[in-house]
Chain A
Amino acid sequence: MDGCTFAVPHGRISGFIGPNGSGKTTTFNLLTGIALPDAGEVLYRGENIAGLRPYQIFRKGITRTFQITRIFREMTVLENMLSVTGLGVPDRVARERADELIAFVNLTHLRAEYGGRLSFGQQKLLEFARALMTDPDLILLDEPAAGVNRTLLQHLLDHIHRLQEQGKTIVIVEHDMNVIMNHCERIFVMDYGVKIAEGPPAEIQRDERVIEAYFGRRRAASART
């Protein structure tokens, strides 16, 4: 990333797009404390969280999922859910919430199965459910649609919208344009570590720089004519 400034709107679903290597996942890493910025600040609710350890950032209400799912393979689905900290509730309540979320993603029948034995789609669901255990306020989803079939995706998106209606802020990094254009209110476009565009879907689709970044100069030129 190189000299970026952007602000994600509260309580809305935002999208991050850009060609491969443009810095989208790096942004997430910076936001969640996995990467440290050389300079600059990361402001969350007015507080600079840059430099905090990931677990501290998590406890402030920010969760994320990963591009390649990072569920715990040798632990059961239930244990995956219960590994989350900061719940501040007794065991029984935590277990109930875990079971609720497991039921939501339709994994109840696999509750006692090792995470590593789940199918790819099921693992994505597990990671999604796990990220919701603490009822976070800011949810960062890194390519939630990758490798997921249509039905499941719709299911996920329904829930994402429901979360947004509850007042949560959601940011999605995606390559799937349908998902981004149809579900995000605001889109940020990156290329080579730099933000090149920002705005509602309609604008982004027409933005010359975005087209150029994705398809190269010639296409942009032909798009203009």
Chain B
Amino acid sequence: MTRYQHLRNLIVLGVAVLVLAFVPHPLSVYLRSFLLFTMMYVVLALSWNIISGFTGYTSFGHVAFYGIGAYACAILVADYGWHWLPTLGVGAVLAAAVAVVIGYPVLRLKGPYFAIAMLGAAEGTRVVATVWDSLTHGGLGISLPSAETSMETYYAMLVLMVVTIVVAYAVGHSRLGIRLNAIREDEVAAEALGINATLYKLTAFTLSAMFPAVAGGIQAYKVLYIDPPAVFFVQITIAMALMSMLGGKGTVIGPIVGAVVLYSAQELTWVNFPTAHLIAYGLFIVLVARFMPRGLMGFAIDRGWARKGMVH
């Protein structure tokens, strides 16, 4: 992309950030929460996309990192009296460490087996959180003391979203992104072209683990109560995956669009049909996987509304 196009994108992002920065003040608490969670899902979907969309290693267990971040924040704030902001950093580092430890063996597995392994990893983390109650209060969950206004978490999430978008954009439009795509396309050929697949995969995986962790931390401080089932909720992984797939795996705008569209739709239907909307979720995955594997962005590219490829 030319420098002009990068600049243009930056301006668009800047405008959006300004809008989001000023908009919450007159709004109700509910709407503020809505925006916050939309931003959170943008972060989650973009992160998931880095390992699953770009690199092609579909992870069904990313919620594990989200949960780790949530617990890091909750434990440090509730039990050790930390201020919540530094706990986010701890969560990110912890998630990165876990990603490296789990990632090294698990990234050796191929496609669906990696997905299943990650699913198991997420469930495993949930079990650990439930069982290790000396640390995590087990099934009782952790209540956090409230000291924030709803604005602090909002802005934190906004900042996180901007950072995530910038990072995802930088990765996607660079040679790093091309190499991750190459690994997705044909790992053997990629290695034959000098790409150290293990290193690149692990890097992408670790990177994709850190942002959800921070998001989890922010969310914990906002909701003020977490317990294992709430935080290691399989739905969150599904949401990440679905949003990314719907918008277009492997692009940068795709997950953003997917997150906004899906979360809005979900909020609209959830209020009216609490269980039915979950059924719709399931059906939706089936439909998207079956008929729209390349998502909305894929559709747009085919129509010529967007350019092919990420680097021009």
Interface residues of chain A, those whose CB is within 8 Å of chain B, are 32-34, 53-55, 58-59, 63-64, 66, 70-76, 78-79, 82-86, 91, 94, 112-114, 130, 134
Return 7 A-B CB contacts under 8 Å, by A number: A63-B193, A70-B186, A74-B185, A78-B309, A83-B179, A83-B190, A84-B194
Contact A72 B192 (CB under 8 A): no
The contact of A86 among B182, B184, B191, B194, by CB within 8 Å, is B194
CA distance A223 to B307 in the complex (A): 61
Residues of A within 8 A of B195 (CB): 55, 83, 85
Contact B188 A83 (CB under 8 A): no
Contact B309 A79 (CB under 8 A): yes
Residues of B within 8 A of A53 (CB): 191, 196
Interface residues of chain B, those whose CB is within 8 Å of chain A, are 175, 178-179, 181-182, 184-186, 188-197, 250, 307-312
Chain A proximity of B202: nearest CB distance (Å): 14
Contact A74 B181 (CB under 8 A): yes
CA distance A33 to B311 in the complex (A): 30
Residues of B within 8 A of A91 (CB): 175
Contact B309 A112 (CB under 8 A): yes
Chain A proximity of B192: nearest CB distance (Å): 5
Contact B308 A112 (CB under 8 A): yes
Known pairs A72-B189, A83-B182; list 4 more (Cβ under 8 Å): A82-B178, A83-B175, A84-B194, A112-B312
Closest residue of chain B to A70 (Cβ to Cβ) is: B189
Closest residue of chain A to B197 (Cβ to Cβ) is: A55
The contact of B181 among A58, A83, A86, by CB within 8 Å, is A83
Residues of B within 8 A of A33 (CB): 191
Given contacts A86-B194, A114-B308, contact A66 B178 (CB under 8 A): no
Residues of A within 8 A of B191 (CB): 33-34, 53-55, 58
Contact A72 B196 (CB under 8 A): no
Residues of A within 8 A of B309 (CB): 75-76, 78-79, 112, 114
Given contacts A34-B188, A79-B310, A112-B307, contact A84 B181 (CB under 8 A): no
Closest residue of chain A to B188 (Cβ to Cβ) is: A34
Residues of B within 8 A of A74 (CB): 181, 184-185, 250
Chain A proximity of B28: nearest CB distance (Å): 44
Q: Top 7 nearest A-B pairs by Cβ distance?
A: A76-B309, A70-B189, A72-B185, A85-B194, A58-B194, A54-B191, A83-B182
The contact of A83 among B178, B250, B307, B308, by CB within 8 Å, is B178
Closest residue of chain A to B198 (Cβ to Cβ) is: A53
Contact A79 B181 (CB under 8 A): yes
CA distance A34 to B190 in the complex (A): 12
Closest residue of chain A to B56 (Cβ to Cβ) is: A74
CA distance A195 to B178 in the complex (A): 40
Given contacts A53-B196, A58-B194, contact A78 B188 (CB under 8 A): no
Chain B proximity of A122: nearest CB distance (Å): 16
Residues of A within 8 A of B178 (CB): 75, 79, 82-83
Chain A proximity of B73: nearest CB distance (Å): 38
Residues of B within 8 A of A72 (CB): 181-182, 185-186, 189
Residues of B within 8 A of A86 (CB): 194
Residues of B within 8 A of A114 (CB): 308-309
Residues of B within 8 A of A55 (CB): 191-197
CA distance A84 to B191 in the complex (A): 9
The contact of A34 among B192, B193, B196, B311, by CB within 8 Å, is B192
Closest residue of chain A to B192 (Cβ to Cβ) is: A54
Closest residue of chain B to A130 (Cβ to Cβ) is: B193
Closest residue of chain B to A133 (Cβ to Cβ) is: B193
Contact B186 A82 (CB under 8 A): no
CA distance A7 to B78 in the complex (A): 70
CA distance A63 to B190 in the complex (A): 12
Contact B197 A75 (CB under 8 A): no
